[in-house]
Structure 1
Amino acid sequence: MNPAPTSDDPTPDDSGRSDITAVSALGEPARRRLYDYVRGRREPVGRDEAAEALGMPRQTVAFHLDKLADAGLLAVEFARRTGRTGPGAGRPSKLYRRSDREVAVQLPERSYELAGQLLAQAVVDAERTGDSPRASLTRRATELGHAVGAAAGPSDAEIMAALEGCGYEPRLEDADITLTNCPFHALARQHTELVCGMNLGLIEGLLDGAACTGRRARLAPEERYCCVRIGRTQ
């Protein structure tokens, strides 16, 4: 028996139409700005916060956020931001966060073809050298990251641009660079240690290739984030 569809997932008969709706929802510039703002935030976003941050009228923000939610690109939840409860606490605020759902155009970006190529190369290497497939995969990912980093520079802006080009959606949180998207998300859920090692190798290689000595990548798994976090060196 197939599981019942959730609110974040289209039904089988509607998947094509839902994907088209989701993609077309981002064609409106103001709506795309709102989507990019919400997906870049660690916590769910309220209408007032988004309106103030983007300098847009609250009514316009509410309209576009709801359209993004209707298209399945944002998920909705309700909470009282004040922390008060009981009579007089007021109505809960409507909050938005990026949906976990993937659409055909892959929002957020996924790189399963790249992962497949790295895995295939690692298997060939392991057969030739006698190394473990995991060690071969990490080495291949590190080499790829080094090549990507060599075309970048060592500054935070340049490193983040290179990471974004790889599909990681980086952002600064305090002194760390965090990654709000894993390009290999579905594979990481099934083969966590293998894929997280690949991610770490790729990002370590990128930092090394960019001659970025001021930052170091480490494994720091956290819900809704890539498993790698990039901190400052001591």
Structure 2
Amino acid sequence: MFVDDTEEVRGAEGLTESVSAVAALDEPTRRRLYDYVVRHPEPVGRDEAAAALGLARQTAAFHLDRLADESLLDVVYARRSGRTGPGAGRPAKLYRRSARQIAVSLPDRRYELAGRLLARAVEESDATGEPVRDALHRNARERGARLAAEGGGEDVFRLLERHGFEPRREDGAVVLGNCPFHALARAHTRTVCGMNLHLLSGVLEGLGETGFEPRLAPEPGRCCVRLEPAA
């Protein structure tokens, strides 16, 4: 069994958070502090960072806390002396690189999702002998169903909008104005468009949406899949 445990920030709220985090690094002192912390394998204290960069301790503390507020740094508490028990003093506030990954892409791209689906298909094919393409289509359909289940009751239009497909209605169909796998789809059209078709099939199945059927309909400037009214 393969488990996808990566947290993915989605939708307008997630984009706002990511932009805010990236913007926080535009301040020169804050960027210097961030670079200093991430170069160290062990958590860094305020005094250490201030001394290394020639800053007042209060200035370093302010910017380090701002980086932590933006989830660019994690805060941990530890006694640097190694002493424990009564008289050991309060633990120091330390900073280290956050485990969160931040990316801003306009228009929305989901290459990590595609990479995970493709890697999982290769691994399962190697383990079971199932053809890679069959494994990819099955995993994509299952992932689409999970996206629907995680949608909290959203309809298909809202869910596709939140996941970067830029849906719009056209003559009863739903046209997808953006392909989240654009560069991959251009280089490996058959593989990636087939994956996308089964991903969206899984979304519709997971939502119990019977009013649309996903069809391959590649056109310049659009996703290769569109949702046609069900016959």
For the superposition of Structure 1 and Structure 2, which TM-score range results when normalised by the shorter chain?
0.5 to 0.7
Separation in 1 of the partners of 2:211 and 2:151? 15
Letter paired with 2:179? C
1:126 corresponding residue in structure 2: 125
1:169 corresponding residue in structure 2: 166
1:192 corresponding residue in structure 2: 189
Correspondence list, 1:214-229, <5 A: 214-229=211-226
Letter paired with 1:226? C
2:7 corresponding residue in structure 1: none
Name stretches of at least 5 consecutive residues in structure 2 with no aligned partner: 1-18, 24-102
Runs of 4+ deviating beyond 3 Å: 151-154
1:108 corresponding residue in structure 2: 107
Normalised by the length of structure 2, the TM-score is: 0.54
Letter paired with 2:164? G
Q: Counterpart of 2:227 in 1: which secondary structure? A: strand
Q: Is the 8 A contact 1:188 1:195 kept in 2?
A: yes
| Number of residues of Structure 1 aligned to a counterpart in Structure 2 | 132
* Overall identity of the aligned pairs, in %: 51
Q: CA RMSD in A?
A: 2.1
Measure how far apart 1:167 and its partner are.
Answer: 1.4
Measure how far apart 1:131 and its partner are.
Answer: 1.6
Q: Is the 8 A contact 1:151 1:210 kept in 2?
A: no
Measure how far apart 1:151 and its partner are.
Answer: 3.9
Separation in 1 of the partners of 2:202 and 2:134? 14
Separation in 2 of the partners of 1:114 and 1:165? 15
Correspondence list, 1:1-234, <5 A: 105-152=104-151, 158-234=155-231
Normalised by the length of structure 1, the TM-score is: 0.53
Could you list the per-position Cα deviations for residues 117-158 of structure 1 after superposition, in whole angstroms to 9, with x for gaps in the alignment? 11111111111221221111111110000111234488xx71
Name stretches of at least 5 consecutive residues in structure 1 with no aligned partner: 1-19, 25-103
Q: Highest CA radius of gyration, 1 or 2?
A: 2
